[in-house]
Amino acid sequence: MTDSAPTIRLELPPLQEHGPRRARTLMIQGTASDVGKSLLVAGLCRAYTRRGLVVRPFKAQNMSNNAAVTHDTDAQPGPDGEPPRGEIGRAQALQARACGVPPSIHMNPVLLKPQTNIGSQVVLRGRALGNCPARIYHEMRQGLMPAVLDSFERLCAEADLVIVEGAGSGAEVYLRRSDITNMHFAERAGVPVVVVGDLDKGGTMASLVGTWRLLDQADRDRVVGYLVNKFRGDFSLFEPACETITEITGWPFRGMVRWFEGASRLPAEDSLALERPAETTGGTLNVVIPRLSRVANFDDMDPLAAEPAVNLRWIEPGRPIPAETDVVILPGSKATRADLDVLRREGWDIDILAHVRRGGRVVGLCAGYQMLGRVVRDPLGIEGEPGETPGLGLLDIETEIGADKRLIEIDGQEQRSGCRLTGYEMHMGRTTGAGLERPWLRLEDGNGDVRPEGAISADGRVMGGYLHGLFGADAFRAHWLEQVGAQAAHLDFEARIEAALDELADHIEACLDLDALLALAR
């Protein structure tokens, strides 16, 4: 994306009346990205909710292509008369679930969805405003602070406790003037801060002391203590380091959280998790997913990874798709045409076509579905430079990227299998073509209305559609696995996530003094 690409028009949503602040608040900032802030906040949300508090999560700005659909009444109506829907980062949706409440656009008012190395789609309070190069967004984002503070105060008016998550490192002082999510936000919102260091990465002592060194005195005073996260081993060996950190910074040590083995059973926040992909072995069905450059909503694969019969493997750039593959899944992407170029650059297009000739199966989800068609057009330059890119030609469809984003939740019955399906659509493309006459799914809603979804090849081996989350439906997942020759374990996937959240809360309860931590909130 160049600076001449379409950029956003900053039109703030109307700020509505809300009640006075009721909640106490506490902010979890990190010394870096991927120190475990999101998971820690999710565990705290569940733990305090179990204690009878009304808890809400909040993250002013998130950068992630893993998003979830919300249905706030004050979100923007969708195209074609669709009801109001919004989107927020997957991490905040999981944190909302930990609180036992539906996700809301106010839990993550600014969502950045990377489309290139230098630019992102900007989503403000659930509505996609357009694309913005990073330099331009940096210059204008302080203008988003009124909407951010308004969303925060809405949550504070309805909750007993709001747990705020920072973004990346709170010590990036060169960004402070335009900051809307770390120390500048904490100052404007009057929120105390706990800083988290990651012992698994190493350099924890230096990162905490370095954070203190970079902050000005007012921001140092806003910090009410620090935590050490992801610890393994004998903590007594690290205690002298804590004494030194406190001696230098004056920040009290507030506790240590040991490594949580159940983290892999919870949806990951963003594609950083794929830097260390969890691979499953020992099954009979070999499923591979090419690691695209702008992979989105990759937690679609989590239910399959949980199945013992499935060997799930992400294929990294530079590696071919193995010949013993049974199913190739093309995942969602925030930049369909750019990731089609990635497929060709890596030679994965040749591997996929050879896989189909050998009788293998291919599934495309959302952007992956678009890639299976004959062409993807982007005349307005929504995802990058205007133009068109040939698809893989495995389905007789074509897609045009448009300005309207379809955000809709699905809850119905798949007519052919008789299985209930839940999920959501989140895309800006419209797909047409003769291939739609042979839909992959037929979704029947509660009124008995049936609509076709997706497309399937004449031989039934190539299929795709826009529905995210369909493999999370236990009966449908078992039905699909049987179709492709594997035995399902009949897991209750949603119960698995709930159990993992409870285990996370138990883990944090065992590691931290939650009464003392709550006393720091104000």
| Active-site pick, 71, 427, 468, 507 | 468
**318-345 mean pLDDT:** 96
**Is the domain 24-264+501-520 a CATH 3.40.50.300 member?**
yes
CB atoms within 10 A of CB 226: 25
CA distance 299 to 13: 30
Q: Which CATH superfamily is domain 285-486 in?
A: Class I glutamine amidotransferase (GATase) domain (3.40.50.880)
Question: pLDDT digits over 269-306, tens only?
Answer: 665 555 555 566 778 999 999 999 999 999 999 999 99
Q: Using the predicted structure, report yes or no on whether residue 7 has a pLDDT greater than 50.
A: no
The confidence score (pLDDT) of residue 133 equals: 83
Q: For residue 432, list its beta bridge partners.
A: 398
**118-122 mean pLDDT:** 80
The confidence score (pLDDT) of residue 140 equals: 83
The confidence score (pLDDT) of residue 274 equals: 55
Position 37 confidence tier, pLDDT thresholds 50, 70, 90: very high
**490-502 mean pLDDT:** 96
Q: Using the predicted structure, report yes or no on whether residue 508 has a pLDDT greater than 60.
A: yes
CATH 3.40.50.880 segments of the chain:
285-486
Position 448 confidence tier, pLDDT thresholds 50, 70, 90: confident
Closest by alpha carbon to 80, among 328, 506, 430? Answer: 430
Highest mean pLDDT among 32-41, 266-275, 402-411: 32-41
**141-148 mean pLDDT:** 91
355 assigned to active site: no
The confidence score (pLDDT) of residue 5 equals: 41
Structure tokens at 333: 């992407």
SS (H, E, C) 326-390: CEEEECEECCHHHHHHHHHHCCHHHHHHHHHHCCCEEEEECHHHHHCCCEEEECCCCCCCCEEEE
The confidence score (pLDDT) of residue 16 equals: 60
**439-451 mean pLDDT:** 84
CB atoms within 10 A of CB 126: 28
The confidence score (pLDDT) of residue 449 equals: 80
Structure tokens at 32: 């870096």
* CA 429 to mean position of chain CA atoms: 20
Q: Using the predicted structure, report yes or no on whether residue 11 has a pLDDT greater than 80.
A: no
In angstroms, what CA-CA distances link 418 with 77, 175, 243, 421, 444? 31, 53, 62, 9, 10
**84-96 mean pLDDT:** 92
468 assigned to active site: yes
Closest by alpha carbon to 146, among 206, 194, 176, 189? Answer: 189
**77-93 mean pLDDT:** 78
CATH 3.40.50.300 segments of the chain:
24-264+501-520
Q: For residue 119, list its beta bridge partners.
A: 116, 133
CA distance 44 to 23: 15
| Active-site pick, 156, 366, 419, 511 | 366
Q: Using the predicted structure, report yes or no on whether residue 155 has a pLDDT greater than 80.
A: yes
In angstroms, what CA-CA distances link 8 with 25, 100, 362? 32, 34, 36
